[in-house]
Amino acid sequence: MESSAAPAGKGDKAGGIGMALMLPATFVVAWILSLTNTQAPGAVAGEASDVNSLRWMFFFTGIIFLVSSFMHSVLAKKTAASIGWTTNGFQYEIAFVSLGAGLACLYAGQNGKEAWIAAALPTITFLFLAGVNHLIEIIRVKNYAPNNTLILIWDFGIPISLVALLLSTGSI
């Protein structure tokens, strides 16, 4: 993937750190709610805690993907600058796929194993490879913009969590 990154850490600082902290904070909140066994949207009373945790991961991942869709479309220039990128047509494609992924994750959180697998496969693949791409930009072009670095917690944390929870629930 050709990088459209700005030179070394030139990401827009306006809203940069605040926006960048949203993803790690959301990941932590999802796990806090999971570990305190707070009932997730779509949960059934008496459901195993790992299933409840999986529902929380899908819920928050769905919400974040919907926010991402808005950010990469309506606020495209500001979002691109905060990552250290320039806006281009591919950013709108990220917005479109984020919309679909968000809806799929919200649906999966309300349903069972088949929906979990169907939503998890593209989510795990996309986020993990996006994380790899962010690492490449950090190494090759020294892009230390907050939304290119702090996002790594989300990009790797959600896939690891989904795989672990899918294994724990016996879904894979």
At 58-88, the pLDDT tens digits run 999 999 999 999 999 999 999 888 888 888 8
Domain assignment present for residue 4? The answer is no
Domain assignment present for residue 7? The answer is no
Domain assignment present for residue 1? The answer is no
**pLDDT tens for residues 97-144?**
999 999 999 999 999 999 999 999 999 999 999 999 999 999 999 999
**pLDDT tens for residues 18-32?**
778 998 999 999 999
Taking the C-alpha atoms of residue 78 and residue 93, their distance in angstroms, rounded to an integer, is: 16
16 falls in which pLDDT band (50, 70, 90)?
low
What are the C-alpha distances in Å from 87 to residues 21, 65, 79, 90, 152?
Answer: 22, 19, 8, 8, 21
Domain assignment present for residue 92? The answer is yes
pLDDT of residue 11: 46
Domain count, the chain: 1
Domain assignment present for residue 29? The answer is yes
Q: What is the mean pLDDT of residues 30-46?
A: 96
Range of the domain at 46: 16-168
Domain assignment present for residue 10? The answer is no
Q: What is the mean pLDDT of residues 145-156?
A: 93
Domain assignment present for residue 3? The answer is no
In three state form, how does the secondary structure of 33-54 look?
HHHCCCCCCCCCCCCCHHHHHH
What are the C-alpha distances in Å from 88 to residues 69, 93, 130, 132, 151?
Answer: 15, 9, 17, 21, 20
Total Cβ atoms within 10 A of residue 114: 10
pLDDT of residue 147: 87
Q: What is the chain's mean pLDDT, rounded?
A: 90
* Angle, CA of 49, 52 and 55, to the nearest 5°: 155
Query: Which residue spans within 90-167 are E strands per DSSP?
Result: none
Q: Of 100, 118, 119, 105, which is closest to residue 60 (Cα–Cα)?
A: 105
Calculate what percentage of the chain has a pLDDT beyond 90: 77
Domain assignment present for residue 5? The answer is no
Residue with tokens 């600082």: 13
